[in-house]
Amino acid sequence: MEKNAKIYVAGHRGMVGSAICRNLKSKGFDIIITRTSSELDLRNQAAVEEFFATEKPDYVFLAAAKVGGIQANNVYRADFLYDNLIIEANIIHSAYKNEVKKLLFLGSSCIYPKMATQPLVEDALLTGLLEPTNEPYAIAKIAGIKLCEAYRDQYDANFISAMPTNLYGPNDNYDLQNSHVLPALIRKFHEAKKSGADKVEIWGTGSPLREFLHVDDLATACVFLMETYDGKQFVNVGTGEDISIKDLALLIKDIVGFEGELTFDSSKPDGTPRKLMDVSRIHSLGWKHKINLREGIQSVYKSYREHLEKTGS
């Protein structure tokens, strides 16, 4: 990417989009185009078409999406399918019509079949049934991958896709009903320590294995792929290392300094038994994550405490 290129980051207020903006600015890219959801409803095709026709971005990072944890995915099934389908379709089509040089679409590791062989290789896509709780979101993300492939095949558009593993970092969602597991655990342990509680309840059995990537590492990978990768095949982005939910809880418990007990509510869904990415493809391209899990959680917890102090929460 040229330093004077116009770069549109869709979803710039979200955890991923804001990390991409920070990374681009640190590398000297100054012309970053953004719109809030109140300024531009990405579900409105006419509005998106007008935006692209007016702004004419050179590069697009498609990080805008309706996202949430296992509970939100399962409850708001229609919203997760419709909103994500329409957002990605509008942006990808307008990017093609306005001759965007390159677009990066961001998916999710939930695109893989529930019982796919671990670690998850890119070729495992569409080889089995999806995890039922987040099937609508996964189908929308698979559609985004296929849209990029189809526009490449039919129109020779340089549209690429990256599939990140579970993410955490600045601007995460800490709502206990709708957040992902890692920020939810940070909040639970912090509040339990503050209130003097003697135990913290964890959803599920604690046995599922999950991989976690700091969002700043993902942002580095996204910019790296935008600058160096032009392949049709989407690329996994992760650490290649996983941890059980129980061990994650114990790690966060230690970082927060909570001294009580853990209990597990097995009536709550576990989701996929294991979800570990095969990251050999992106490693072979020359990228590897840098932030280890303990260091990453420590920095996130520090930011979380500072936010609570600022807001008086």
- Residues in the annotated binding site for substrate: 188, 203, 210, 270
- Of the candidates 112, 137, 151, 229, the residue annotated as catalytic is 137
CA proximity to 167, closest of 103, 132, 219, 128: 219
Q: CA-to-CA distance for 303 and 134, rounded, in angstroms?
A: 29
Q: CA-to-CA distance for 95 and 157, rounded, in angstroms?
A: 9
Q: CA-to-CA distance for 161 and 152, rounded, in angstroms?
A: 11
Contact 59/5 with Cβ under 8 angstroms?
yes
CA proximity to 167, closest of 206, 109, 126, 125: 109
> Which pair of tokens denotes residue 269?
């869904």
CA proximity to 22, closest of 66, 65, 63, 69: 63
> Which pair of tokens denotes residue 211?
């991989």
DSSP state of 179: S
Please report, in range form, the residues annotated as the binding site.
11-17, 106-109, 141, 164-167, 180, 188, 203, 210, 270
> Which pair of tokens denotes residue 291?
């932030």
Per DSSP, helices labelled H in 29-161 are: 45-55, 70-75, 77-97, 135-155
Q: CA-to-CA distance for 299 and 308, rounded, in angstroms?
A: 14
Residue 302's identity, in one-letter code, is K
Q: Is 137 a catalytic residue?
A: yes
Q: Which residues are catalytic?
A: 137
